[in-house]
Amino acid sequence: MSPRISYTQVSANGVDQHIDSEAIDLQARDTLSSLPEMGEDGTQLSPSSSVSGIAINTQSTPVKVEPPPEFRALTLLDNAPDAKTRPEWQDPVRWCFWGNVAVLVINIALTIAAVGVSASKHDESVGLGIVMTATSSYCCTILMAPSRTDIDKAHSKGTWLSVGVASWRNFRNLKRSSKALWSILLLTSIIMQMIYNSIIYSSLNANAYPAIVAPMDFVSNSSIPTSFYEEQTCWPDDVFSWSITDLRSGIMNGSFEYLSQDECIEAYANSFTSNRRTVVLVTQEPITGAGISLAGYGYAGGIEATNPAKTVLSPFGYIGALDWIFEGSRGMVNLDPTGYEWMCYMLHSTGSQSSCSSAILQALDTWNVSARDWPRVTEVHIPEQNTVSREQIQVMGKAKTESTLLQSNITWTRKEVEVFMSHVESNPPPEQMWSYLNTTSWVTSAGKINVSTECPPLKNLVNDFDADPLREIKVDHCLSLRTSEECRLFYHLPIALVMIICNLIKIVCIWLLLRIDRHNLILTMGDAISSFLQRPDPTTKQWCTLSPEFIAGKSFKKEDHWPPGPHPGFLPSEKYKKRWNIASSDNMWCLTFLILVLYIVISLVLPTLAVQNKITHQMSPLQPLTAIWQIQGWGTIQSTGLLSNLATSFVGMELLANTPQLAVSFLYFCLNDILTRMILTADYNNFAIHRRPLRVSFPRGEQRSTWYLTIPHQYAIPILTTFTIIHWFVSEGLFYVQVLPYTIDGKPIPSAELVTCAVSTLPLELGLFLMIVVFFVIGFLGSRRLKASKMPIAREWSVAISAACHPPRLDLDAAFKPVQWGVVEDDTNALYPHCSFSSKEVKEPKVNVQYA
């Protein structure tokens, strides 16, 4: 029972009338309903001539009509707002406004700084993009939220609006200006999502380098003169990018870093080597001949034009160490241009592996490389005879060469000729050849003999490849030349300007939103229940069993939108317990599933296309999908992970790199919408089990503060954290790259610059795995049963919520106290019992009883 309160009402004749509160307890609802209808701007829409039977002479001096103090306290959301009072919802919107202003200032400052330092800048936090997206989302929520006036107008037209969630129905109900603001905020958010991560991008240098094989004496035994090695090899300085003297001097003075076999593999088994160049492969095995050999070249993987084997060796008529083709029982085997084929060549040639990586090489018991010599040829010039050399013997043949030598004027036996030819074929240095000649008895009869060395054409060695296969060298350790990285960060000015324009547009839109004078917004389910409890909706009076299922299956004519009550009906049966997923439509589940399938396809197809861009045609159709794991590393650039065949323009590559991000954002919107609707329905349903205070946007009395956008923290924090991690995984798994190759001399090659998108399989698939987990977790939540099976499901439908909010006439302050839904004591309807939210005692309803 309300306390006894008396107040004074000024009548038309100026007489003060004292009225007792008990006298109006039974008429309280009628009093509130008959108060002047106020617009959203606080002005009176239509005057009323009487209040609860208390005559007011409208012809006399105007008297401001106000409800008694106890009634004003009961009409929080629907109280006639002062036109000068700022709506409460504007405070957080103002925070959004200043947050966007701060982001704009930062973006402009960074753009000016970037231009001032020639497009080189530090990393920019993606938090700026999150701030703009989050603030836009909140402002869109404010725009989409209906006011109580909007809901009343909708109900009067026979329709309804959504509460606490975004819907197409609410969007259609907006004014044209609000629709434009909402659309612009959404469009600018999508544009930012597609390009914001591309404002800053890095340029990675990829060094070309020679892999040189040297004996242990070359790097440790200083007693052997460097001239010895210089005289034994025909490799020019350009091939090694070093002279033999400078190379050995650099090794001796410590310019090269010692690397164990595993460390060497780890450092150089990369498609793009940025901080190292020349590597010397040291072997313990004795090396005959030239002593210094070439194992091959490292270069920017996938950019074959930068392969030194094609550029450095081409003047010598040589196809290059990395382009050798082995012929064997396995047929033709070409190496993929990973950039470090020299490390894997012997592995491929034996057929033991079809792929090569750092892990495979480190798992080997011994690491062997192939080495190609280009030794000087020792020639013996005999007077009145042709020059005798290893190449000459190979061209003429042993038998013909032997016959020619026996017919000369030299006095020697067949045995001595065979021994001489054997020495020549071993191609000893001139000193060793002279040592042998001085021990023979026939040298004096030969006259003046001359011994010299010559470099044969390199193409002759290739033509005679089958007769002189590559040497297989076991690597003991490496000596590596470490260099500084030439990595650069770039600030893409056109995209930065687009971002600034979008930022400005958002600020203007939020400023315009602040100019909209909207009062009494219904942002959450608690706001709606509080409003309807304070001022019940007459269109749903005596219709407490109204549910979306009933409305969806019945059409209401224009002339009779909501027919007057009573509307008796039975409550849902306990036999058919509804689940959480009833809150969301099948269309939303189908849309979410289709976007998820699209995301799965993108996450699997992009790595597959990257691998197919490099693998040979010999692979079976099923291999590319399993071959995506060849793209190793976390957010690193691999030659097998480049999508250069999909996009060629900068805009195309940026869109390609951010398409999965957009799919993740859409999935977040869909799954968040589903989860919001389910939690909204479950929380509403729990009022039939427990008495609780309402959670509203701006609490008064015993009301409590609402959850952020309806979702409780125990759900909101995990889903926000998970999707943030997924976005990060996607950014690590698919990204825009710019690779600038360098020659073995350390000079950049701008013409061969690679600009494309790179794929990293592990983070991309982890993001996919997390997304699937989120989908199934929300699906599992949807399978949970609602606790109160007898309570009609209202979902987010305003008309169904209003039907459950017709409390007893004496329960005037229910909105500000803990409430519960159930059968209430009410003398307004003697024919049918009534169910409603109430702060008074309620009883559990029965299934076989009609309620109205």
- pLDDT attached to residue 316: 60
**Percent over 70 (pLDDT), the chain:** 72
Note the helical H segments in 350-386: 358-362
Residue 821, pLDDT above cutoff 90: yes
- pLDDT attached to residue 350: 54
Cβ atoms of 834 and 851 closer than 8 Å: yes
Residue 290, pLDDT above cutoff 80: no
Candidates 452, 268, 474; CA nearest to 366 is 474
Residue 289, pLDDT above cutoff 80: no
The first and second tokens of residue 460, run together, are 């002759």
Structure confidence by residue, pLDDT tens digits, 634-657: 766 666 677 776 766 777 777 788
The CA–CA distances, whole Å, from 276 to 256, 313, 746 equal: 10, 21, 11
Q: What is the crossing angle of helices 127-144 and 493-515, to 10°?
A: 30
The secondary structure of residue 3, as a DSSP letter, is P
- Mean pLDDT, the chain, rounded, equals 76
- pLDDT attached to residue 361: 80
Residue 17, pLDDT above cutoff 70: no
* Residue 413: half-sphere exposure toward Cβ, Cα within 13 Å: 5
| 170 vs 183: CA distance, rounded Å | 13
If pLDDT is split at 50, 70 and 90, which confidence band does 566 have? confident
Structure confidence by residue, pLDDT tens digits, 392-418: 888 888 888 888 888 888 888 889 989
If pLDDT is split at 50, 70 and 90, which confidence band does 555 have? very low
More confident residue, 273 or 557: 273
Cβ atoms of 729 and 770 closer than 8 Å: yes
- pLDDT attached to residue 595: 94
Query: What is the full DSSP assignment across 479-513?
Result: EEEE-----EEEE-HHHHHHHHHHHHHHHHHHHHH
Query: What is the full DSSP assignment across 10-61?
Result: E-TTS-EEEEEGGGTGGGHHHHHHTSPEE-TTS-EEE--SEETTEE--TTSS
**CA angle, 55 then 76 then 42, to 5°:** 65
How far is C-alpha 104 from the chain's CA centre?
A: 24
Structure confidence by residue, pLDDT tens digits, 690-704: 999 998 888 888 888
If pLDDT is split at 50, 70 and 90, which confidence band does 557 have? very low
If pLDDT is split at 50, 70 and 90, which confidence band does 34 have? very low
Candidates 789, 843, 791; CA nearest to 544 is 791
Residue 721, pLDDT above cutoff 80: yes
Name the residue with tokens 């006259």.
447
Residue 835, pLDDT above cutoff 60: yes
If pLDDT is split at 50, 70 and 90, which confidence band does 284 have? confident
- pLDDT attached to residue 128: 62
Note the helical H segments in 62-89: 69-72
Work out the average pLDDT over 105-131.
55
What b/e sequence results for 630-667 when a residue is b if at least 16 CB atoms lie within 10 Å of its CB, and e otherwise? bbbbebbbbbbbbbbeebeebeebbbbbbbbbbbbbbb
Structure confidence by residue, pLDDT tens digits, 722-738: 988 898 888 888 887 78
Cβ atoms of 73 and 143 closer than 8 Å: no
Q: What is the crossing angle of helices 586-612 and 761-782, to 10°?
A: 170
Beta pairing, strands 200-207 & 734-742: parallel
Cβ atoms of 524 and 89 closer than 8 Å: no
Structure confidence by residue, pLDDT tens digits, 214-234: 999 889 888 888 888 887 788
- pLDDT attached to residue 827: 60
Structure confidence by residue, pLDDT tens digits, 188-220: 888 877 776 677 777 778 899 999 999 998 898
Long-range pairs, 12-20, Cβ under 8 A, ≥24: 12/55, 12/56, 12/57, 12/60, 13/57, 17/54, 19/54
**Domain parsing of the chain, residue ranges:** 6-72, 99-199+492-520, 205-374+465-482, 377-454, 524-576+789-852, 580-786
Structure confidence by residue, pLDDT tens digits, 583-599: 888 889 999 999 999 99
| 161 vs 171: CA distance, rounded Å | 10
**CA angle, 702 then 707 then 709, to 5°:** 135
Name the residue with tokens 């603001």.
181
- pLDDT attached to residue 46: 40
β-strand partners of 472: 370
Residue 610, pLDDT above cutoff 70: yes
Structure confidence by residue, pLDDT tens digits, 60-106: 333 334 444 334 334 444 444 444 566 666 667 777 777 778 777 77
| 803 vs 631: CA distance, rounded Å | 59
pTM for the whole structure = 0.68
If pLDDT is split at 50, 70 and 90, which confidence band does 122 have? very low
